[in-house]
Amino acid sequence: MKKHSILSLSAAAVFSLTALTLTLHPVAAPAAVQNTDPKVTRGAYLVKIMACNDCHTPWTMGPQGPEPDMTRMLSGHPQDMVVQPLKLGKGWEWAGTGTNTAFSGPWGVSFTANLTPDSETGLGKWTEETFIRALRTGRHEGQGRPILPPMPYPMYRQATDEDLSAVFAFLQSIPPVRNRVPQPIDPPESE
């Protein structure tokens, strides 16, 4: 089948191409960077270099190719975009949507979270303590279900409290976007 032919690329090559694609276009500086609070400014910088927009901002096709849609900055997987699990081969295979916000793999389907300060659908009611705890433990809300792939929390958990605090300060400063991200979809029982 045609779609399976894509898999003929080697894993390393695919990863390289993906990484290249996601970094071709510089991410526009978010509005909140204008905030003069040094902590917020530091957080904006960290969010940029930690590539949070690569997955938490939906990607769209722009005039120069795919790019994050900064009108929906860090608002996570669009709530109206319904995604079904893909039937993948055995072993460790996974796939993502063109928005780069939903990922199907052995863990089921994961959706990137709304990181904006919307009080109902984002991090508006989160505390800094909960945010840091989530990244340290790799658990939703710092104590719930595991944060699912491909969120690279094992890397981010190594950040200092000061840096994670700055990231949280920045995330609380950006425009809230009301977007209720779907709950993860479990894999079939047999898996």
Partner 1 sequence: MRIRKSITRIAAVLVWAACAMTAIASMEPTDVKAPAAPSRLSETGLYDAEGVIDRRNLPFVPQYPLWTDGAAKMRWIRMPEGATIDVSDVDSWRFPVGTKMWKEFAWGGRKVETRMIWKAAENDWVFATYLWAEDQSDATLAPERGIANVVEIGRGKRHSIPATEDCHACHQSSPSIVLGFNALQLSDDRDPLAPHAEPLPPGALTLRTLTKAGRLYPPRPDLASVPPRIRESDPVARAAIGYLSANCGGCHNDRGPLARLGLVLQHDAAQDGAQSVPAPEPARVTSVDAAGRYSVPGIPVDSSRIVAPGAPDRSALLQRMRSRRPSSQMPPLGTVIPDSEAAELVRRWIESLNATPRDHQ
Instruction: Return d(Cα 109, Cα 185) in angstroms, integer.
Output: 5
Q: Cβ 149 to partner 1, closest distance in Å? A: 6
On whether the CB atoms of residues 143 and 10 are closer than 8 A, the answer is: no
Q: 124 Cβ partners below 8 Å, 6+ apart?
A: 116, 117, 118, 176
Radius of gyration of the chain from Cα atoms?
17
Please tell me whether residue 178 binds partner 1 under the rule CB under 8 A: no
Q: Cβ 33 to partner 1, closest distance in Å? A: 27
Please tell me whether residue 150 binds partner 1 under the rule CB under 8 A: yes
Please tell me whether residue 70 binds partner 1 under the rule CB under 8 A: no
Report DSSP state, residue 123: S
Contact positions toward partner 1, by CB under 8 A?
3, 6-7, 9-12, 14-15, 18, 80-84, 86, 91-98, 100, 102, 104-105, 107-108, 110, 125, 127, 129-130, 133, 136-137, 139-146, 148-150, 152, 154-155, 157-158, 160-161, 183-187, 189
